[in-house]
Structure 1
Amino acid sequence: MDRMNDENWAELRSQCERVSTGAQLLTPLSERPFGIEATADDRILVRFADSTEERPLWREQFGVFDEQLEGGAMAIDDLQPGVEPYAAVISLSESYTVDDESIVTAPDDATGGESPFLVSAAEARTPPERVHDDAILLAHLVERLEIDDLASLDSMDTDSLTDYYVLASDVQRGADGVRSAARDELLERLGPDQELHGRFGTVRRTTRERRRPKDDETVLAALDEHGIPREWVLGVDRDKLDVVLSVTDLADDDVYDTSEDVYVQKTAVDEDEKYSRLQGLADRIEDLENADGEALEDELEAIEDRLEEALTAN
């Protein structure tokens, strides 16, 4: 029996069309992200994020996949690479559900439009996109709250101060990740004592020596060879000291000086709220299609021209 009839095909297409803009599906085994570009009478067009490859998923092949589910389930580990996108898409249907190990035919239990392979638009963003978005949110918050200097923080309400801290932390963390990736790529391009110049600055290869002791046996043998008393370099091993504390009646205060450092720890980030706020800003920018929007665009172009002139002059 072919369950991929006109009604079921229309329902699957409808679920695909309802997937939020920017959301992606992951292939079940290889975890390749892809988005749904369009649907048609005979296919669903998808685009893979890691290669920008477009690929049609044919209705006929969905029917073949459906026939293979005639027994009621298919083990995810048995999926072939070419079948994985079909499995991810069909999991959106009202006719199927996914347990820990299989795709299961279960119309009574399935929830149309939901899938463990579906990643929200907020979560699907790449690290550079997240840095970009967090920086925009932080810049908007600084502008809205009119934060001119650090002294103005004492007049900020607690909720806003918390958001300011969280966004600054997220920008720093994201920028560090992007910077590390850029550093590794630059090291491939930089020769010894070479400098590379960009519009905003200059970088060069720098080498620092980092030393760490060799194994204990080698170090102690070298000391003995030169007549150096071992006691000069032997110290307390903290790991071994903690073991002693755990198995004896030795008190912490006997061997440790204890102090407290008080700091603010970020314990949670509401990515959905951030993304929703970002979409609101994007919608407002998009609405600037009148004279005010054109004036703003002209002003930005003028700023860019002045920056270009200043950089060229230097």
Structure 2
Amino acid sequence: MEFDTVWRELRDRGETLGPDEVLVTPGSERPFDCVTAETDRIVVEFVREGAERSLWRDQFQVLFDRLETDADGVSLTDLPAGVEPYVAVMSLSSRYGVDDAGGRFHRAGTSASAESPFRRPAWTARTSAERVRDDAVLLADALEREHVDDPRSVEPASLVDLYVLLSDVQHGADRLRRELGDLLLNYIGPDARLHGRFGSVHRTTRERRRLRDEEAVFDALDERGIPHSWVTGIDTEKLDVVIAVTDLEERAVYDVDEQVYVQKTAVEEGEKQSRLQGLMDRLAGVETEEAAELRADIRAIEDRIDAVVTAG
């Protein structure tokens, strides 16, 4: 198969991406659409930035030639940012795939995935802020419907939904909190505070210790006349190996405390979409101030879910 054939395949498949689908770059997970496919380029638009970029035919051929001559392909973790969208688009071709470990992009073989791992439903390519907003709306609705003040009266299935939403909001909000915190450091100098409507923040410095290598530690002890035996002890990693290969029982050398807890194992994104659409439908006929505020919260995500719901 010559490059011209691959190029035609890429142009055709790029134009057949559904309205509810996007491609994401392998490393940075930036979602983008294929806008047009021309003779010498494929024009893409990055969804979050709203910026268009041309991916040139001759650059695709450079990548094609590399993959033809190198059976190992290219490492996805080492891709320059500018090459990532080229790889994502080339993954649409049946000629290429990603190995089972997800680490390399190469000519398709028995270990390659059948579908492009970079082709995603647009719903799953939301920004951190969009995910937190959507989950917060769903959580607010669930808390309104369920009698959480008396959790024992809530049906187990509803408890599961509440637990999953609380978990999603917690983790999503924490990721977003860290992103915003890193940004705030640019505005807050040492010993300075920054005030907002709901509170204040200030710069905090915390020391984290990391043990130096053994030789450096022992040299420091020797300089001060401290016996090595004062700091040497049982190596837990070595002890675990002994437990694994002998009849030494774990409880003979460890105090083991058992903790039972609930762990989230799955999230039904389709049900989230459906519920959000249902909320908007219910609010359409309600004319109250609270309903207007909630409509405003949901309106931003209505356009994203319309295409998904219409597609069935």
What is the aligned partner in structure 2 of residue 248 from structure 1?
A: 246
- In percent, how many aligned pairs have the same letter? 47
Relative to structure 1, is the Cα distance of residues 138 and 299 closer, same or farther in structure 2, using a 3 angstrom cutoff? closer
Whether contact under 8 Å (2:32, 2:44) holds in the other structure is: yes
TM-score, structure 1 length as denominator? 0.64
Relative to structure 1, is the Cα distance of residues 162 and 76 closer, same or farther in structure 2, using a 3 angstrom cutoff? farther
**AA at the equivalent of 1:186:** L
Whether contact under 8 Å (1:141, 1:164) holds in the other structure is: yes
What is the aligned partner in structure 1 of residue 169 from structure 2?
A: 171
What is the aligned partner in structure 2 of residue 160 from structure 1?
A: 158
Following the alignment from structure 1 to structure 2, what is the Cα–Cα distance between the partners of residues 75 and 189? 47
Whether contact under 8 Å (1:35, 1:47) holds in the other structure is: yes
What is the aligned partner in structure 2 of residue 308 from structure 1?
A: none
What is the aligned partner in structure 2 of residue 111 from structure 1?
A: none
Gap regions ≥5 residues in structure 2: 6-10, 69-81, 98-105, 109-114, 297-312
TM-score, structure 2 length as denominator? 0.64
1:101-157 per-position Cα deviation (integer Å, ceiling 9, x unaligned): 579xxxxxxxxxx9765321321211111111111111100001142x3xx111110
Following the alignment from structure 1 to structure 2, what is the Cα–Cα distance between the partners of residues 156 and 236? 49
Following the alignment from structure 1 to structure 2, what is the Cα–Cα distance between the partners of residues 224 and 160? 63
What is the aligned partner in structure 1 of residue 145 from structure 2?
A: 144
Whether contact under 8 Å (1:24, 1:34) holds in the other structure is: yes
Following the alignment from structure 1 to structure 2, what is the Cα–Cα distance between the partners of residues 212 and 86? 38
**AA at the equivalent of 2:144:** E
What is the aligned partner in structure 1 of residue 124 from structure 2?
A: 123
Alpha-carbon distance, 1:271 to partner: 1.6
What is the aligned partner in structure 1 of residue 184 from structure 2?
A: 186
Larger Rg: 1
Following the alignment from structure 1 to structure 2, what is the Cα–Cα distance between the partners of residues 222 and 153? 57
Relative to structure 1, is the Cα distance of residues 20 and 237 closer, same or farther in structure 2, using a 3 angstrom cutoff? same
Relative to structure 1, is the Cα distance of residues 185 and 258 closer, same or farther in structure 2, using a 3 angstrom cutoff? same
Following the alignment from structure 1 to structure 2, what is the Cα–Cα distance between the partners of residues 248 and 11? 57
Following the alignment from structure 2 to structure 1, what is the Cα–Cα distance between the partners of residues 116 and 294? 46
* Superposition map of 1:179-218 within 5 A: 179-218=177-216
* Superposition map of 1:271-286 within 5 A: 271-285=269-283
Give the CA RMSD over aligned residues.
Answer: 4.4
* Equivalent residues, number: 256
**AA at the equivalent of 2:272:** K
What is the aligned partner in structure 2 of residue 227 from structure 1?
A: 225
The answer on 1:297 being equivalent to 2:295 is no
**AA at the equivalent of 1:209:** E
Following the alignment from structure 2 to structure 1, what is the Cα–Cα distance between the partners of residues 247 and 144? 58
Report the secondary structure of 1:265's partner residue.
coil
Relative to structure 1, is the Cα distance of residues 12 and 53 closer, same or farther in structure 2, using a 3 angstrom cutoff? closer
Whether contact under 8 Å (1:20, 1:120) holds in the other structure is: no
**AA at the equivalent of 1:145:** E
Whether contact under 8 Å (2:192, 2:203) holds in the other structure is: yes
1:27-80 per-position Cα deviation (integer Å, ceiling 9, x unaligned): 7999753236799xxxx98632253124799xxx99xxxxx9xxxxx78958x9
Following the alignment from structure 2 to structure 1, what is the Cα–Cα distance between the partners of residues 88 and 209? 53
Report the secondary structure of 1:196's partner residue.
strand
**AA at the equivalent of 2:146:** L
**AA at the equivalent of 1:297:** A
Relative to structure 1, is the Cα distance of residues 282 and 47 closer, same or farther in structure 2, using a 3 angstrom cutoff? farther
Relative to structure 1, is the Cα distance of residues 261 and 36 closer, same or farther in structure 2, using a 3 angstrom cutoff? same
